[in-house]
């Protein structure tokens, strides 16, 4: 019997590719840049399985070009790049990679919270520009996290892992989500708040909602105005959750103190983009889950989902 065929859209951890090769013939776009759409549309025609990244738009057009496709294994916890309804109409299973990246992503959110509140980008630029002439008691003052209030917008696995860390640092933690998390309220003392009061009370606002029609530009002009002038905004969720033009204005006019962004709209940002240029905005290239172990686990989980579906077993982490 012919082996099923799988398409992998990028260079990923080789051990995951080798594992998949034991179960399927594999075509891989083995490069660091995204596969051109035309090539993917051509290659998908033969595929029983697709290992996709968040950079691929898995829409009706792509699915229509894939008559044999049984699974889209998205190598990310977010899957806003996949038209799940279109996949369901075609009986294509969609999986993501929850759980394996939680701690790594929470660590990185903390790194951005610390970098923003202690003005790391500005400080590095200060030295690089040759301005470091003497120790100065009033130079580059930031805020302490101990005793500060962190506002988590969204409360999934990653936000909860950030809450645990923030609690250990002595922060007060507010959260806003669709449902209450009573256990964490009791165990960690996290406090539920409506979005406007969370924005008004927090010294740091950290975003943890998936991108959807409801969360697109959730943080815009009026939300930024609700934040304290001394507060910082951190985004490790999806760029589209923030209205970027409103954020540029807020940062330029100092209606908030600063931002740290792992994700942006659009993605990537060019080097001359105002958010990249501003001293009070730190931008990194969507790397919250980028530890060696975690990226290997994500690739392996995506492959395990494919193997399960190709072997007519239930997928490990379906999105629905
Ligand atoms: C990365 O952004 C992910 O969703 O895993």
Model pTM score: 0.97
Same domain flag for 75 and 186: no
With bands split at pLDDT 50, 70 and 90, how would you rate the model's confidence at 195? very high
**Residue 112 shares a structural domain with residue 47:** no
* 48 lies in some domain: yes
Q: Is residue 181 part of a domain?
A: yes
Contact present, 191 and 217 (Cβ < 8 Å): no
Question: What is the number of the ligand 1 atom nearest to the C-alpha of 76?
Answer: 5
CATH number at residue 53: 3.40.50.720
Could you tell me if 193 and 276 lie in one domain? yes
Length of the chain: 320
pLDDT-based confidence at residue 2 (cuts at 50, 70, 90): confident
Judge whether residue 120 has pLDDT over 80.
Answer: yes
> 158 CB under 6 A from ligand 1?
no
Question: Of 10, 238, 295, 297, which residue is the catalytic one?
Answer: 238
Structure confidence at residue 1 as a pLDDT band (50, 70, 90): low
Residues 94 and 108 in one domain: no
Q: How far is 207 from 239, CA to CA, in rounded Å?
A: 10
Count of domains observed in the chain:
2
- Per-residue pLDDT reduced to its tens digit, 36-67: 999 999 999 999 999 999 999 999 999 999 99
Instruction: With respect to residue 79, please indicate whether it lies within any of the assigned structural domains.
Output: yes
Q: Is the pLDDT of residue 80 over 80?
A: yes
Gyration radius (Cα) of the chain, Å: 21
DSSP label at 272? T
Average pLDDT over residues 92-115: 98
Q: For residue 267, indicate whether it is catalytic.
A: yes
- Assess whether 106 and 239 both reside in one domain: yes
At 142-187, the pLDDT tens digits run 999 999 999 999 999 999 999 999 999 999 999 999 999 999 999 9
Choose among 35, 93, 41, 82: nearest CA to 307.
93
Residue 88 within any structural domain of the chain: yes
Instruction: Check residue 261 and give its pLDDT.
Output: 99
210 C-beta closer than 6 A to ligand 1: no
In this prediction, residue 95 carries a pLDDT of 99
Residue 11 lies in a domain: yes
What domain range is 165 assigned to? 102-283
Is-cis flag, bond preceding 263, omega within 30? no
Whether residue 47 is found in the same domain as residue 185: no
Residue 208 Cα, ligand 1 centroid: separation in angstroms?
11
132 alpha carbon – ligand 1 mean position (Å): 38
User: 318 lies in a domain?
Assistant: no
Contact 298, 75 (CB under 8 A): yes
- Note whether 197 and 263 are same-domain residues: yes
| Atom 5 of ligand 1, residue of closest alpha carbon | 76
Same domain membership, residue 161 and residue 12: no
Q: Is the CB of 211 under 6 A from ligand 1?
A: no
CA of 11 to the centre of ligand 1 (A): 16
Please indicate, yes or no, whether residues 131 and 245 belong to a single structural domain of this protein.
yes
Average pLDDT over all residues of the chain: 98
Same domain? For 111 and 213 the reply is yes
280 lines ligand 1 (CB under 6 A): no
Question: What DSSP line would sit under 70-134, residue for residue?
Answer: -EEEESSS--TTB-HHHHHHTT-EEE---STTHHHHHHHHHHHHHHHHTTHHHHHHHHHTT---S
Closest-lying ligand 1 atom to the alpha carbon of residue 237:
2
Examine the pLDDT at 214 and tell me if it is beyond 70: yes
Q: Is 238 a catalytic residue?
A: yes
Q: How far is the CA of 139 from the centre of ligand 1 (A)?
A: 36
186 is catalytic: no
In a domain, 319, yes or no: no
Q: From ligand 1's centre to the CA of 241, what distance in Å?
A: 14
Q: Is residue 317 part of a domain?
A: no
Residue 320 has pLDDT above 80, yes or no: no
18 and 63 both lie in a single domain: yes
Atom number of ligand 1 nearest to Cα 79: 4
Pair (65, 154) in one structural domain: no
Q: Which residue has the tokens 């939680």?
A: 102
Determine which one of 119, 286, 295, 297 is catalytic: 286
Q: Is 77 in the pocket of ligand 1 (CB under 6 A)?
A: yes
């Amino acid at each position: 019997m012919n082996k099923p065929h799988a398409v992998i859209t990028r260079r990923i951890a080789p051990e995951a590719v080798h594992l998949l090769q034991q179960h399927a013939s594999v075509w891989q776009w083995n490069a660091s840049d995204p596969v051109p759409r035309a090539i993917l549309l051509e290659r998908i025609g033969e595929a029983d399985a697709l290992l996709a990244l968040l950079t691929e738009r898995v829409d009706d057009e792509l699915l229509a070009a894939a008559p044999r496709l049984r699974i889209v294994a998205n190598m990310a916890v977010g899957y806003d790049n996949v038209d799940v309804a279109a996949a369901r109409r075609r009986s294509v299973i969609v999986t993501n990679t929850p759980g394996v990246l939680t701690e790594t992503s929470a660590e990185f959110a903390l790194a951005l919270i610390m970098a923003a509140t202690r003005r790391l980008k500005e400080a590095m630029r200060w030295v690089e520009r040759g301005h470091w002439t003497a120790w100065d008691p009033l130079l580059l003052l930031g805020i302490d996290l101990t005793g500060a209030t962190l506002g988590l917008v969204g409360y999934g696995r990653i936000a909860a892992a950030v809450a645990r860390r923030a609690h250990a640092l002595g922060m007060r933690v507010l959260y806003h989500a669709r449902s209450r998390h009573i256990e964490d309220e009791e165990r960690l003392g996290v406090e539920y708040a409506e979005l406007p009061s969370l924005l008004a009370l927090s010294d740091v606002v950290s975003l943890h909602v998936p991108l959807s029609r409801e969360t697109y530009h959730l943080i815009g002009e009026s939300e930024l105005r609700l934040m304290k002038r001394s507060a910082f905004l951190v985004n490790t969720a999806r760029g589209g959750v923030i209205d970027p033009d409103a954020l540029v204005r807020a940062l330029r006019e100092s209606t908030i103190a600063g931002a740290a962004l792992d994700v942006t709209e659009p993605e990537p940002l060019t080097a001359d983009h105002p958010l990249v240029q501003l001293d009070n905005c730190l931008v990194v290239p969507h790397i919250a889950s980028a530890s060696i172990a975690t990226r290997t686990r994500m690739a392996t989980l995506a492959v395990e989902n494919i193997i399960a579906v190709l072997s007519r077993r239930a997928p490990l982490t379906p999105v629905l």
